[in-house]
Amino acid sequence: MERTLLLIKPDGVQRGLAGRILGRFEDKGLKLAGLKIMRISADLAARHYAPHVDKPFYPGLVRYMTSAPVVAAVLEGPRVIDTMRKLMGATFGWKAEPGTIRGDFSNSTAYNLVHGSDSPESAEREIGLFFQPGELVEYERSLDSWLISEDDA
């Protein structure tokens, strides 16, 4: 089963949207495999956003991500990366479609509430930054048989 990292960014936590955002993913049938609230250190932010180090927005991004707690989660399910990114919506809240998390809760370029891995390779790397192997839980849900067909597995 595919896994991905979700970060509810400082603006999402400060605005009290963490539960509502997590609920959107659970409502879609995605399963939580790990969950924690934490402060991101400057070192962790630098490792996480290393691909963007030479971009002009990088210093502000690190300041933003280290400014307040985030909620880190690992979600799993068939095609979880694509599914989660569709639910999140376009990167800039003012461009995101209504019905998406960013489209419903953000009108900002900088404060866009959530981060989700963009590929299986990124997901593996990012999950390893935020979670130790023992922090992730594997379990069966009785409702999975109603959410995941043989075509999805």
Task: Give the distance from CA 119 to its chain's centroid.
Answer: 12
Cβ contacts of residue 124 below 8 Å, gap of 6+?
Answer: none
Q: Can you tell me the mean pLDDT for 134-150? A: 89
> pLDDT at position 53, please?
93
Residue type, 42: A
Sheet holding 3-8, edge to edge: 31-38, 70-76, 3-8, 114-116
3-state secondary structure at position 3: strand
Instruction: Choose the catalytic residue: 31, 89, 115, 123.
Output: 115
Q: Is the dihedral of CA 22, 127, 43, 58 positive or negative?
A: negative
The mean predicted confidence, pLDDT, of the chain is 95
Q: Is 115 a catalytic residue?
A: yes
pLDDT of residue 25: 98
Instruction: Tell me which residue of 99, 39, 97, 26 sits closest to 67, measured CA to CA.
Output: 39
Residue 69 is which amino acid? P
Q: Tens of pLDDT along 91-106?
A: 999 999 999 999 999 9
| Residues 26-81 pLDDT 10s | 999 999 999 999 999 999 999 999 999 999 999 999 999 999 999 999 999 999 99
Task: List the domains of the chain with CATH numbers.
Answer: 3-131 (3.30.70.141)
